[in-house]
Amino acid sequence: MKRAARIVNGSGAEVRFGRELGRGGEGSVFEIEGRSDLVAKLYHKPLSKEKQDKIEAMVRLKTERLLRFTVWPVDVMRDAGRRVVGFLMPCLSGQEIHKLYGPKTRLTEFPQAGYSFLVHTAANLARAFAAVHEAGHVVGDINHSNFYVTDQATILMLDCDSFQVQSGGARFGCDVGIPMYMPPELQGVTSFRGVVRSRNHDNFGLAVFIFMLLFMGRHPFAGKYSGTGDMPIERAIREFRFAYGSSSAARQMQPPPGALPLQVLPPAVQALFERAFAQESMTRRPDAQEWIAALQDMSGGLMPCSRNPAHQYPAQAKACPWCAMEAATGGLLFRPADSAQRMASQAGSMGGTGSGIAADSAAGFQLHQIWAQIQRVQTPAPARTLPEPSTLAAEPSAPVAAYLRRRKWRGAFSLASLLSAAGVWIFLPGFWMITAGGLVGVNLLLLIAGVGRRSLRSARSEERDRLRERWNELSLRYAEASRLAPFAGKLRELEQAKREYMDLEVFKATELRRLEAKQRSGQMQFHLRRHRIEQAQLDGIGPGRKASLALFGIETALEVETHRLARVPGFGPANTRMLLAWRDRIERRFVFDPTVGKVPQAEILAVERTVEARTRDLERRLSLGASELARLSAGIRSRQEAALREAGGTARALAQAELDVNVL
Amino acid sequence: MFEFDQIPFAAEFAENPEPRCPCILLLDTSYSMSGQPINELNRGLSSFKEELMTDSMSVKRVELAVVSFGPVQATSDFGTPDDFYPPMLTASGNTPMGAAIEKAVSMLEERKNVYKQNGISYYRPWIFLITDGAPTDDWQRAAALVREGEASKSFMFFAVGVENADMNVLNQIATRAPLKLKGLRFADLFSWLSNSLNSVSHSTPGDQIRLENPASPEGWALI
């Protein structure tokens, strides 16, 4: 870098700049030659007297404690006119905090970070605020790019030169602020110049960032607004519309769908959030120390999810909220535990002897247990052949029996009348008229009685036909009720789900290998393309031949393929063999570099998201399997029984009707 | 085994609940854009994506959609830059600019509803029209929609004319002064747009953003 003026540090030694590390609105940050622990911030424009004084004061005010949490200025930089043009500060490490609290970036930038890491970071953020506040300063410009998080969950604050700094009796102000992290009383402020910032202002921003860390990047004031019109975040802040609080409904707010409910957190933490965002307590928001205590307790009370080892949650929650949220939204909140872990926890319980089962089978998914439950479900009996009703033993029905009795008596009467008529005719021939008249009269009476038989017979045969029809209907219903297809179908479905579940890890590994193979072949192609035929020393293939190859698009080793060479006129087998051997040699020299052109994280995540969703879905289906199967089985059996019960009654009635008709 | 499942609706907001800044590019693909102009436009689009990707906040907050005309079609639906695959536009057909603007306005309304349903905050949306001609359809209704949208602050409408664009009609459609692209400096235009969106995505929804003046001597536009 060329710079006109010589720049010196506080003790007059020249500062030599290395690479520019970053460029912001007011200045650039450079490496310093010979110092790997420090960097230099150089302002683009000359600084006001006040700002120069501020930086000098800050350098004087540096403490060991502040430097643990911030990149505090440790030395000034001056130009030839002794004007302050910048300062030296410790190197920054870590990444912007929004990359941690936003799940999308957390999955790739902090893949190992579970909920306990987030709670830990939140506590460390509170510790950083405590350090700044205890030194008498105010952070002021709280925003998503000013806090860096390391992979140890520690916090470093940057842009310290914008802090409000207290130096003895003098106060150097903070002129900036991003409204979405500012308290209600600072909303609508058009310029922060001259506004005195307080720790209580900071405490609002601190609570917002702790909230975003604990709530998967959700802003406490972004929710569903049931009123008309838009509800931008600053307006919601100004109007105390904390979307998750106890008074949110009264303020027409509700948490976004699929967000963590506040009630899942320990009561002490809930209470701190309520106090930080409510109107009544706006003058006494929780300070950093209160947060440290509550978050430390919370950290100790996290428990692992028994289903997904990547999930940890506050112990007082009834079930793992992350499983519920991931299932509800289909998104990934935490990087799923690697396959080995999951397999190990499955395998451990498969053995069936360990004492570990009792501990983690309480809520966790155990395939072998679930499957045993499924297998215990009673298979319903297939349909039996029903007996033909006419073969059943039966008694005539009451009216028929009565008729039969009457008929017996009538026969006897008729016989008696005949006999008596014959007697009269033999012994008293003169009275034949009486005989004939009596006989005719009696038998006429008997004939009239015989009409009852026909009507009874037709009634019974009608009944028989009705019953036969009903019987046919019921046999069909029984056969229908005994159809096992739904049960068998469900069982097959579950078997399929089980197979798929057991293959998931294989599937994931295959997919990841496929991605790697794609990357490998990409690298191989690149490697082959770098070897140009025109530059190669190839016996018998001179510039002319090379030109004709080029004419057919064969310019690098990549294009050297049998079917392509075959199209080139005058290119014989010997030349072809030699070119292929050349390509082969180049291929063998290829070394795969897994760090170059890494498989894009997004593609790996897509596989993981799919496998996770599939795992969840299969576990749900298999867990429900036993009860669904039992319900199907019980349904079949009860329908079978009902049909059989009714069929039994009908069969008996039918047998009787058949008998009745036969005897009449 | 099974197909890769589509990411369900709410997943994108569960994984990334940051406030969104939706931006619709309304791109003229009429026949007159053939050749150099459409090539430069395509090149500009892919560098646009790359530039947005370099800002860690824009990647989470900016959402791009592309409507090309004619015929009017949503070439890409709203997605964050990492999800945005610049389309390869080809020039053919006429210039149904009115219908395209109406389509963009209705897409924005729909998207805003999705945000509201999901409790996602958003910035004032941008509609960015690039054309080299004059509308071949009825644009009066579209002009009324633009005036209404600008007045109610439901979106910002920018119009950029290329080469022989009818700046007079653009003036009647847009309430902000339309800009005339210098030559075919699409790359500079998209670079400016991505910088502007970057500064939006670092602000708070509802903030007034001071945009860099594109019509400065070194800028890409003329007034």
The pLDDT-based confidence of A49 (bands split at 50, 70, 90) is very high
Classify the phi-psi angles of A601: left when phi > 0, otherwise alpha if psi is within -120 to 50, otherwise beta: alpha
| ipTM of the shown complex | 0.83
Contact between chains at B206 and A507 (C-beta distance less than 8 A):
no
CA atoms within 13 A on the CB side of A415: 6
Residue B28: closest CA among B126, B98, B84, B111:
B98
Q: Mind listing the pLDDT tens digit for each residue in A85-103? A: 999 999 988 999 999 999 9
Residue from the list B14, B56, B207 with its beta carbon closest to the beta carbon of A258: B14
The dihedral sign for the CA sequence A165, A166, A170, A175? positive
Contact between chains at A145 and B57 (C-beta distance less than 8 A):
yes
Q: What is the DSSP letter of A138?
A: B
The pLDDT-based confidence of A270 (bands split at 50, 70, 90) is very high
Instruction: Report the alpha-carbon distance of residue B22 to residue B124 in Å, rounded.
Output: 8
The dihedral sign for the CA sequence A118, A121, A125, A126? positive
Question: In chain B, which residues have their Cβ closer than 8 Å to the Cβ of A224?
Answer: 116-117, 119
Contact between chains at A330 and B8 (C-beta distance less than 8 A):
yes
Contact between chains at A330 and B10 (C-beta distance less than 8 A):
yes
Contact between chains at A235 and B206 (C-beta distance less than 8 A):
yes
Q: Is B1 on the interface with A (CB under 8 A)?
A: yes
Q: Would you give the end-to-end CA distance of chain A in angstroms?
A: 124
CATH class of A8-92: alpha beta
Residue A451 has pLDDT above 80, yes or no: no
How would you class A111 by CB atoms within 10 Å of its CB: exposed for 0-12, middle for 13-18, buried for 19 or more? Answer: middle
Domain with CATH 1.10.510.10 in chain A: 96-300
Contact between chains at A235 and B4 (C-beta distance less than 8 A):
no
Residue A75 confidence (pLDDT) = 95
More confident residue, B207 or A309: A309
Instruction: Return the H-helix or E-strand segment holding A354.
Output: none
Nearest Cα residue in chain A from B19: A222
Instruction: Report the alpha-carbon distance of residue A45 to residue A234 in Å, rounded.
Output: 32
Residue A525 confidence (pLDDT) = 84
Residue A625 confidence (pLDDT) = 87
Q: Is B56 on the interface with A (CB under 8 A)?
A: yes
Stretch A110-116: mean pLDDT, rounded? Answer: 91
Contact B183, B219 (CB under 8 A): no
The pLDDT-based confidence of A155 (bands split at 50, 70, 90) is very high
Residue A537: closest CA among A591, A570, A586:
A586
Instruction: Report the alpha-carbon distance of residue A512 to residue A519 in Å, rounded.
Output: 11
More confident residue, A581 or A126: A126
Q: Is B120 on the interface with A (CB under 8 A)?
A: yes
Token match 């890494």: residue?
A: A598
Q: Mind listing the pLDDT tens digit for each residue in A396-438? A: 888 888 888 887 887 787 788 778 877 777 887 777 777 777 7
Beta-strand pair A302-304/A253-254: unpaired
Which 3 state secondary structure label does DSSP give A486? Answer: helix
Which 3 state secondary structure label does DSSP give A596? Answer: coil
Q: Which residues partner with B79 through β-bridges?
A: B64
More confident residue, A278 or A611: A278
Q: Mind listing the pLDDT tens digit for each residue in A589-618? A: 888 776 666 677 778 888 888 888 888 888
Question: What φ, ψ does residue A544 adopt, rounded to 5°?
Answer: -65, -50
The tokens describing B149, both together, are: 């949208």
- Tell me the residues of chain B between 200 and 219 that have a Cβ less than 8 Å away from chain A: 202-207
Q: Is B199 on the interface with A (CB under 8 A)?
A: no
Token match 């999930």: residue?
A: A311
Write the CB contacts of A306 (distance below 8 Å, at least 6 apart in sequence).
A320, A360, A361, A362, A363, A364
Write the CB contacts of A644 (distance below 8 Å, at least 6 apart in sequence).
A478
Alpha carbon A641 to its chain's center: 43
Classify the phi-psi angles of A455: left when phi > 0, otherwise alpha if psi is within -120 to 50, otherwise beta: alpha
Extract the runs of DSSP E, i.e. beta strands, from A381-534. none
Percent of chain A with pLDDT over 70: 94
Write the CB contacts of B19 (distance below 8 Å, at least 6 apart in sequence).
A180, A219, A222, A233, B61, B120, B121, B122, B123, B205
Instruction: Report the alpha-carbon distance of residue B36 to residue A510 in Å, rounded.
Output: 44
Question: In chain B, which residues have their Cβ closer than 8 Å to the Cβ of A104?
Answer: 15-16, 60
Residue A116 confidence (pLDDT) = 94
Highest mean pLDDT among A281-290, A460-469, A496-505, A593-602: A281-290
Contact A40, A86 (CB under 8 A): yes
Considering the domain A96-300, what is its CATH architecture?
Orthogonal Bundle (1.10)
- Calculate the average pLDDT of chain A: 86
Cα–Cα distance list, A89 to A41, A42, A59, A144, B34 (Å)? 8, 11, 10, 20, 54
Cα–Cα distance list, B23 to A110, B72, B81, B158 (Å)? 29, 17, 11, 11
Give the helix ranges, DSSP H, for A135-214. Answer: 199-214
Question: In chain B, which residues have their Cβ closer than 8 Å to the Cβ of A225?
Answer: 116
Residue A76 has pLDDT above 90, yes or no: yes
More confident residue, A376 or B211: A376
Write the CB contacts of A29 (distance below 8 Å, at least 6 apart in sequence).
A20, A21, A22, A23, A39, A40, A41, A42
Contact between chains at A232 and B121 (C-beta distance less than 8 A):
yes
Which residue of A98, A108, A180, A213 is the best one to mutate when testing the B interface, meaning the one whose CB has the most B CBs within 10 A? A180
**Long-range pairs for A483-491: beta carbons < 8 A, 24 or more residues apart:** A483/A636, A484/A379, A484/A380, A484/A382, A484/A636, A486/A632, A486/A636, A487/A379, A487/A380, A487/A629, A487/A632, A487/A633, A487/A636, A490/A625, A490/A628, A490/A629, A490/A632, A491/A374, A491/A629
Contact between chains at A259 and B119 (C-beta distance less than 8 A):
yes
Residue A337 confidence (pLDDT) = 65
Q: Is A180 on the interface with B (CB under 8 A)?
A: yes
Which residue of A23, A107, A238, A329 is the best one to mutate when testing the B interface, meaning the one whose CB has the most B CBs within 10 A? A329
Instruction: Report the alpha-carbon distance of residue A307 to residue A364 in Å, rounded.
Output: 4
Residue A604 confidence (pLDDT) = 83
Which 3 state secondary structure label does DSSP give A105? Answer: helix
Residue B194 to chain A, least CA–CA distance (Å): 16
Instruction: Return the H-helix or E-strand segment holding B150.
Output: helix B140-151
Residue A595 confidence (pLDDT) = 66
Contact A309, A320 (CB under 8 A): no
Domain at B25-204+212-222, CATH from 3.10.100.10, 3.20.20.450, 2.60.320.10, 3.40.50.410: 3.40.50.410
Instruction: Report the alpha-carbon distance of residue A159 to residue A174 in Å, rounded.
Output: 11
Q: Mind listing the pLDDT tens digit for each residue in A577-587? A: 888 989 998 88
Instruction: Report the alpha-carbon distance of residue A449 to residue A451 in Å, rounded.
Output: 5
Q: Is A335 on the interface with B (CB under 8 A)?
A: no
Residue A240 has pLDDT above 80, yes or no: yes
Q: Is A90 on the interface with B (CB under 8 A)?
A: no
Compute, in degrees rounded to 10, the torsion defined by CA atoms B96, B98, B100, B105: 180
Residue B202 confidence (pLDDT) = 73
- Tell me the residues of chain B between 6 and 35 that have a Cβ less than 8 Å away from chain A: 7-19
Nearest Cα residue in chain A from B8: A330
Residue B12 to chain A, least CA–CA distance (Å): 7
Token match 């500064």: residue?
A: B199
Residue A344 has pLDDT above 80, yes or no: no
Q: Is A509 on the interface with B (CB under 8 A)?
A: no
More confident residue, A152 or A664: A152
Tens digit of each residue's pLDDT, chain B (223 residues): 333 343 445 778 988 999 999 999 999 998 888 888 888 888 888 888 888 888 888 889 999 999 999 789 888 889 898 888 888 888 888 889 999 999 999 999 999 988 988 889 998 899 999 898 888 888 899 999 999 999 988 899 988 888 888 888 888 988 888 888 887 778 888 888 888 887 777 776 666 667 777 877 777 877 6
Q: Would you give the end-to-end CA distance of chain B in angstroms?
A: 58
Question: In chain A, which residues have their Cβ closer than 8 Å to the Cβ of B210?
Answer: none
Contact between chains at B2 and A255 (C-beta distance less than 8 A):
no
Residue B118 to chain A, least CA–CA distance (Å): 5
Q: Mind listing the pLDDT tens digit for each residue in A528-568? A: 888 888 888 888 788 888 888 888 888 888 888 888 888 88
Residue B5 to chain A, least CA–CA distance (Å): 6
Q: What is the 3-state secondary structure (H, E, C) of A434-471?
A: HHHHHHHHHHHHHHHHHHHHHHHHHHHHHHHHHHHHHH
Cα–Cα distance list, A201 to A178, A185, A264, A473, A537 (Å)? 12, 8, 27, 81, 74
Q: Mind listing the pLDDT tens digit for each residue in A627-638? A: 888 888 888 888
Residue from the list A224, A333, A602 with its beta carbon closest to the beta carbon of B119: A224
Cα–Cα distance list, A373 to A378, A382, A618, A626 (Å)? 11, 22, 16, 6
Residue A5 has pLDDT above 80, yes or no: no
Token match 């399997």: residue?
A: A625
Instruction: Report the alpha-carbon distance of residue A55 to residue B47 in Å, rounded.
Output: 40
**Long-range pairs for A189-194: beta carbons < 8 A, 24 or more residues apart:** A192/A140
Residue from the list A216, A257, A329 with its beta carbon closest to the beta carbon of B119: A257
Q: Buried b vs exposed e over A322-335: b needs ≥16 C-beta within 10 Å?
A: bbebbbebbbbbbb
Q: What is the pTM of this model?
A: 0.72
More confident residue, A118 or A641: A118
Cα–Cα distance list, B20 to A41, A177, B17, B116, B143 (Å)? 32, 20, 8, 11, 26
Residue B7 confidence (pLDDT) = 41
Instruction: Give chain A's radius of gyration (CA, Å).
Output: 46
Contact between chains at A178 and B118 (C-beta distance less than 8 A):
no
